[in-house]
Structure 1
Amino acid sequence: MESDLRIRAGGDGEPLLLLLHGLGATGDVWSGWWPELTEHWPGRWVAPDLPGHGGSAPPGEYTFGSLAEAVLPLVAGSTRTVVLGHSLGGVVGLALAARHPVAAVIGLGVKVSWSDEDLQRAGALAERPVAWFDSPDEAAARHLRVSGLAGLLTPDDPAVRAGIREVDGRWRLALDPRAFGVGAPDMAALVHGSPAAVLLARGELDPMNTDEQLKGLGVRTVTLPGLGHNAHVENPRACRTLLDLGATAGSSP
């Protein structure tokens, strides 16, 4: 398995589970899943840092297609791959399924409706220069806000430390700000054109989407009671049930 991405991996055999984090996070954000996967997942799992995040180098340009191409080597040779992607990672999973045989894509917390204001705000963030901090704690606090993980992880959590970087005694986010410029996905085209089974899920308290928006895409949907946008961090055990549901995601919603 060849890749220029920093990855976390475990397990053995098939099927392969590819875990894709959201914008601003790293593959370590799935660390709460390791015990669950050890007990319940029958094959291998891989959790990369997407390009421009954590320890993975930035791509030439940020598109959903370029991000999918970057993770494609991780699934090459697998006889059965299931993708579980959070937010941006869910879109990347759908883009990957259009390029490589994937059994199922489970998108959790994907934002499917983008206003002009949303896109303008994201574009402005993409053009901001890198912010520098005098201490790792300051950088960690910013990482938690940018990734939406404030209140869920502590600044000294390994998943947070993976999201910051020291350069010549100063600290910055590992995130390349240009990643905010990836744009809005055409979810209808990605979902309806996917050769893989698709399941879309959201936390009941997620402000990034609604039940109606997900159901409008015409695939099977699941709402996780009492959870928010980062449901996979809040309650890995509850979210693990999505892996079982993903196997039948191709049935009527």
Structure 2
Amino acid sequence: MASDKPTIVLLHGLGATGRVWDSFTNTANWSGRVIAPDLRGHGSAQWSDSYSFGAMASDVSDLLEVNEPYVVLGHSMGGGVGAALATGFFGTTPLLLGTIGVKLVWTETELAKLPEVAAKPSRLFDDRAGAADWFLKLSGLLGGVDSDSSLVESGIVHAEEGWKVRQDPRSVLVVEGSPPFAQMFSGLLTPVHMSLGEHDPLVSASDHVDMSTDEPHVFPGLGHNVMVEDPVATWDWFSSLMSPS
């Protein structure tokens, strides 16, 4: 029997996997359907010759039934994927889009370094511990998640040549060629609610000044991965968007 509740689609950030949402989904205890996929080039997902927010949005839309009602919560890169879903170019648009910690301002220097990072082969490690630490660093979770967690397990692999993360280095190119974020989030067919941690090193509330969205919600005392740092506060905020008073 179909649920009368919308499907919750959770989209992880660059370097992470869908398991980054585990504590959040446990907190939510949502009785409807929940999808937290590994986006292309991450975790169990296939590597690709092409990385873009649109390509990832197309992958996500393939997981949804025709006309399936759904809401999206996207972290960092996942927020950009959510914006692509909200354009209407990939089937049914979400009922609402929530974002966490989307990096809105990119310097020319940062953008110029992306092809260099993408061209580097995956780093190899002699042991699991080295690969685990590297995964946690790439996903911005070092010091916040145990190295023996299911999240870390989903992001590393032991290959014949050694231990390595499962992320395709070329996935950093998802930002390359995308329009400015103020433009990308403008004119969407879905209500958008943005948020960030007070101490997020990648984005600040002032970075949202050119956005067409309302003033972002700021999580006091938290950093970039607020859904990991405080899943209760994150769920309280997102669930309030789904059931506004």
TM-score w.r.t. the length of structure 2 is 0.91
Q: Aligned equivalents of 1:78 and 1:87: distance in 2?
A: 26
Tell me, yes or no, if structure 1 residue 219 matches structure 2 residue 208: no
Q: Aligned equivalents of 1:13 and 1:165: distance in 2?
A: 39
Please say if residues 133 and 172 of structure 1, whose CA atoms lie closer than 8 Å, have aligned partners that are also in contact.
yes
Tell me, yes or no, if structure 1 residue 64 matches structure 2 residue 53: yes
Q: CA RMSD in A?
A: 1.9
Residue 24 of structure 1, aligned match among 15, 20, 31: 15
Aligned length: 237
What are the superposed Cα offsets for residues 44-87 of structure 1, whole Å, 9 maximum, x if unpaired? 11100000100000122011111111111122335321100000
Q: Give, as a single letter, the amino acid of the residue that structure 2 aligns with 1:20.
A: L
Q: 1:243 matched to which residue of 2? A: 238
Please say if residues 197 and 248 of structure 1, whose CA atoms lie closer than 8 Å, have aligned partners that are also in contact.
no
1:179 aligns to what SS in structure 2? helix
Distance 1:130 1:169, change over 3 A: closer
1:212 aligns to what SS in structure 2? helix
Tell me, yes or no, if structure 1 residue 50 matches structure 2 residue 47: no
What are the superposed Cα offsets for residues 181-236 of structure 1, whole Å, 9 maximum, x if unpaired? 22254222222121001001000001111112224313122011110011111010
Matches within 5 A, 1:1-253: 14-38=5-29, 41-98=30-87, 99=89, 100=91, 101-168=93-160, 170-183=162-175, 185=178, 186-220=180-214, 221-247=216-242
Q: Aligned equivalents of 2:85 and 2:243: distance in 1?
A: 19
Q: Aligned equivalents of 1:12 and 1:59: distance in 2?
A: 34
1:71 aligns to what SS in structure 2? helix
Please say if residues 109 and 206 of structure 1, whose CA atoms lie closer than 8 Å, have aligned partners that are also in contact.
yes
Q: Aligned equivalents of 1:47 and 1:88: distance in 2?
A: 14
Q: Aligned equivalents of 1:18 and 1:242: distance in 2?
A: 16
1:192 aligns to what SS in structure 2? coil
2:14 aligns to what SS in structure 1? coil
Q: Percent identity?
A: 35
Please say if residues 105 and 246 of structure 1, whose CA atoms lie closer than 8 Å, have aligned partners that are also in contact.
no
Q: Aligned equivalents of 1:150 and 1:241: distance in 2?
A: 25
Q: Aligned equivalents of 2:208 and 2:236: distance in 1?
A: 18
Q: Cα offset for 1:246? A: 3.0
Q: 1:6 matched to which residue of 2? A: none
Q: Aligned equivalents of 1:126 and 1:78: distance in 2?
A: 36
Q: Aligned equivalents of 1:156 and 1:126: distance in 2?
A: 27
Please say if residues 53 and 174 of structure 1, whose CA atoms lie closer than 8 Å, have aligned partners that are also in contact.
yes
Q: Aligned equivalents of 1:124 and 1:36: distance in 2?
A: 39
Q: Give, as a single letter, the amino acid of the residue that structure 2 aligns with 1:211.
A: A
Please say if residues 124 and 161 of structure 2, whose CA atoms lie closer than 8 Å, have aligned partners that are also in contact.
no
Runs of at least 5 residues in structure 1 that lack an aligned partner in the other structure: 1-10
Please say if residues 131 and 172 of structure 1, whose CA atoms lie closer than 8 Å, have aligned partners that are also in contact.
yes
**Stretches of 4+ aligned residues off by more than 6 angstroms:** none
2:211 aligns to what SS in structure 1? coil
Please say if residues 9 and 71 of structure 2, whose CA atoms lie closer than 8 Å, have aligned partners that are also in contact.
yes
Q: Aligned equivalents of 2:162 and 2:4: distance in 1?
A: 42
